[in-house]
Structure 1
Amino acid sequence: MLFWIICFVLTCGVGVIVITPLVRPPKETVEDPQVALYKAQLEEVDRDVAREVIAPEDAERAKTEIARRLIAASGEDHTTSISRFGKPAAIGTGIVLLALSGGIYWQLGAPGYPDLPLKTRIANGDEFRANRPSQAEAEANAPALETPDFPAEYVESIDKLRELVPLRPDEVQGWELLAYHESQMRNYPAAATAQGQVIALKGDAATVDELTVLADLLAAAADGYVSPQTETIARRILQLDPNNIAGRYYLGAMYDQTDRPDRALQLWRSILDRGAAETFHLALARRFVGDAAVRAGTDYTPPPATEVALEDVIGNEDLSEDDQSEMIAGMVSRLADRLATQGGPVDQWARLIVAYGVLGQMDDARDILAEARDVFGASDEAMGLLDQAATRAGVAE
């Protein structure tokens, strides 16, 4: 209610400012009495000269003084002004102002939306996250996908696979095949179910890649929605690999979908600022991070996508040494500039040290190593990673 009172008062104030000129009386020019007096005196002097009451030279001096005063008095503004518009126009203007301000707020504002202090918003997000729809509910509401046009023989073989695999429920390979082919058919719910069987059979031996496949299939089946089941898989991925790109993307997407863009931005920045090669999950984070940053009340522009990861270039047998050196030099230059201006996590510093070693720039590698040790000296884990990088670069002490 306080918000509406403030809006009403401000609108009325602006209306008064705009309408006031419209209701003033019309412009009228009123001659200053002093001007009329001086004109009369000039005429009186002329009559006195005609009657020879005063000498002509005295009359000229008198007229000069009277004329000076007349000019001074004539320079003053003695008019009153108003608009040509009357009260109907003023009332109409006021109505238009009220309607226009109300219409703009209706489009851009949130009528009826209550105040949301930070604590309340966080609490609402926690409650929504705890009670959000399940995977099954999300799949039921997801739009149906059109099945690709496959040959009839392929479709028949998939139908047979669907019949045979459940008959041998303990064979991992059968569920893996079924999950793959169901995903090719865009039957993502069935593919996620099959991949879930793979994970269940492997238990703790399931790899990060296999868990990532399951997270991808669950999200695809739910039209991008991160359900509690997908969140559980993402957290399991991050337990095995805390810096995993897919795990951090899905956890960030979950927070973004439950009104915590600040947490989403934090997670997505941690993978986008890393400078890793572009992947499906990085592309998704790059797509949504701008909106999350705006809703979190900050500005963030992700760095441009990196087409090739530094680790994929070093030691790549398909590239000549000259090609490797050329590609690494360009990537190293961009990475060094970013670390110098924006900073970055310890793994980026380690990559830069190794890259300088590959390029034979040992002095640069030592300088970066010394700088990184000053930055991350308080972390034993970070120091261990830097020591490994120094060994790979050939600058270990």
Structure 2
Amino acid sequence: MTFWIIATAIALLSIAPIALVLRRGRGMGAQSTSTAEIEMKVYRDQLKEVERDLARGVLSLDDAKRARTEVSRRMLEADKEHQGGKAGAPKGTLWGAIALAVALLGGGVWLYGDLGQPKYEDLPLAHRIALADEIRATRMSQDEAEAKVPATPMAQQADQQLVDLVIKLRAALQSRPDELEGHMLLARNEANIGNFREAYLAQSEVIRIKGAEATAEDYAQMANMMILAAGGFVSPEAETALSNALKRDPNNGIAVFFSGLMFAQNDRPDMTFRLWQPLLTRSEPTDPWLPLIREQIEAVAQAAGIRYTLPPANDGLKGPSAEDMENAADMTPQERQEMIRGMVEGLSARLANEGGTPEEWARLISSLAMLGDTERAKAIWGEAQVIFGADPAKLAVVRGGAERAGFVE
């Protein structure tokens, strides 16, 4: 009902200018009539004045005749203009305005009936939250969600040695149900071959054995396995595991991410954003949830009615810490150079052993050149061309480091 009251008020406001113009038009017509009557009275008085002047001998007969002719001519022109103004006003103006108003109102109602949702009830914020809570409370259980997930051949494609190890572990733990290390190993390897249900069941045994010593990471890993088993759906049982993780560590990244996902699946993007935005800010570039948040957080913010711009990605290149800078202030130039060289060597070792981003390779090349180790920088540039040669965009980033080093134009 509130909607229709507002819509009617808006329609009436849109018609008001038309009515105002018509009213002004009618007022102008009345004003025009009044002005014409005044002019005619003036001219009649002038004719009477001419007759009086003629009788007193002030005007000659010829002058009086010319005066009568001029005043009469003016009277005819004034009357003609007055009659023309009346004829110029359209006779159907009022009815036309009424027809226009009806068309506007009727057309608006028809369009809303065709494109809108006339029977859709108002949804104030409290009502929407209540609906979301109801959806959350009545969503599928873990077993129901798993039943909807299509069978996957992942376990069949796993390494046979790993599958054999899992089978042996299962058999061994039948007679040793309280062996912690065995259940931890079983949970990890069940997940590795794609048996996520068996994985979280084994992880639940880990938590049972640990008892009060179970950590936030233990619960978060179990929730992760449950969500994977349910095809990405966060069930009430998985939510319980997430809650247990957050009770032990409110900043556990896995638990915070999946809690946000749970709210997104239950029409609460505002809660998702409230969890994901701080997590995005404090996450490291290597955190597994980071790319998932970056892909979705802008859409989540929009759904929540929040203006948000995704910050630039952190390339993971860390410079000296505040402590390093403070210590460097007391160093000799040679000691500072050695500190920088140590940081560069650390980056070089990490890239050699673990690989890294194009930005890190570019930094290593330019840093080595800055330290005077140009030949080594050139060698690493050659190695980078092999690694990133298939991706021109990434290779262009590394080339930037070589250009800063001065041996590539």
Give TM class, smaller chain.
0.5 to 0.7
Corresponding residue of 1:318: 350
Matched, 1:249 2:257: yes
Corresponding residue of 1:304: 312
1:54 is paired with a residue whose SS is helix
Corresponding residue of 2:225: 217
Corresponding residue of 2:172: 168
How far has the Cα of 1:112 moved from its partner? 3.3
Alpha-carbon deviations, 1:186-245, whole Å to 9, x = none? Answer: xxxx32432430452364466666654433332233333222222233234334543232
Corresponding residue of 2:389: none
Corresponding residue of 2:144: 137
| TM-aligned CA distance change 1:311 to 1:262, over 3 Å | farther
- The answer on whether the counterparts of 1:234 and 1:250 sit within 8 Å (CA) in structure 2 is yes
How far has the Cα of 1:100 moved from its partner? 0.8
2:274 to 266, 271, 278: 266
Matched, 1:280 2:288: yes
2:350 is paired with a residue whose SS is coil
Larger relative helix fraction: 2
Corresponding residue of 1:227: 235
| TM-aligned CA distance change 1:222 to 1:274, over 3 Å | same
**Partners of 2:116 and 2:63 in 1: how far apart?**
79
Corresponding residue of 1:290: 298
1:234 is paired with a residue whose SS is helix
**Partners of 1:269 and 1:326 in 2: how far apart?**
34
Corresponding residue of 1:13: 12
**Partners of 2:287 and 2:294 in 1: how far apart?**
10
- The answer on whether the counterparts of 1:265 and 1:293 sit within 8 Å (CA) in structure 2 is yes
Alpha-carbon deviations, 1:257-290, whole Å to 9, x = none? Answer: 3444333222111112226316432233333333
- The answer on whether the counterparts of 1:261 and 1:296 sit within 8 Å (CA) in structure 2 is yes
2:193 to 181, 189, 197: 181
TM-score scaled by structure 2? 0.53
Larger radius of gyration: 2
Corresponding residue of 1:201: 206
2:301 is paired with a residue whose SS is helix
| TM-aligned CA distance change 1:140 to 1:70, over 3 Å | same
Q: Which runs of 5+ in 1 are unaligned?
A: 183-189, 328-397
How far has the Cα of 1:247 moved from its partner? 1.7
AA aligned opposite 2:263: Y
- The answer on whether the counterparts of 1:269 and 1:302 sit within 8 Å (CA) in structure 2 is no
1:305 is paired with a residue whose SS is coil
**Partners of 2:258 and 2:10 in 1: how far apart?**
45
How far has the Cα of 1:127 moved from its partner? 5.2
1:80 to 89, 114, 117: 89
**Partners of 1:17 and 1:57 in 2: how far apart?**
54
Matches within 5 A, 1:93-104: 94-104=105-115
**Partners of 2:275 and 2:242 in 1: how far apart?**
12
Alpha-carbon deviations, 1:311-369, whole Å to 9, x = none? Answer: 99975443699947989xxxxxxxxxxxxxxxxxxxxxxxxxxxxxxxxxxxxxxxxxx
How far has the Cα of 1:181 moved from its partner? 0.9
| TM-aligned CA distance change 1:305 to 1:200, over 3 Å | farther
Alpha-carbon deviations, 1:108-160, whole Å to 9, x = none? Answer: xx843355453x55555555544443211222234x26546976xx5766775
1:293 is paired with a residue whose SS is helix
Matched, 1:113 2:121: yes
- The answer on whether the counterparts of 1:277 and 1:309 sit within 8 Å (CA) in structure 2 is no
Corresponding residue of 1:384: none
| TM-aligned CA distance change 1:77 to 1:164, over 3 Å | farther
**Partners of 2:350 and 2:148 in 1: how far apart?**
47
**How much identity, in percent, do the aligned residues show?**
22
Give the count of matched residue pairs.
304
**Partners of 2:18 and 2:186 in 1: how far apart?**
80
**Partners of 1:253 and 1:62 in 2: how far apart?**
94
- The answer on whether the counterparts of 1:278 and 1:306 sit within 8 Å (CA) in structure 2 is no
- The answer on whether the counterparts of 1:234 and 1:247 sit within 8 Å (CA) in structure 2 is yes
- The answer on whether the counterparts of 1:195 and 1:214 sit within 8 Å (CA) in structure 2 is yes
**Partners of 2:257 and 2:297 in 1: how far apart?**
10
Alpha-carbon deviations, 1:277-304, whole Å to 9, x = none? Answer: 1643223333333344344443222322
AA aligned opposite 2:111: L
Higher RCO, 1 vs 2 (CA within 8 Å, ≥6 residues apart): 1
How far has the Cα of 1:16 moved from its partner? 5.3
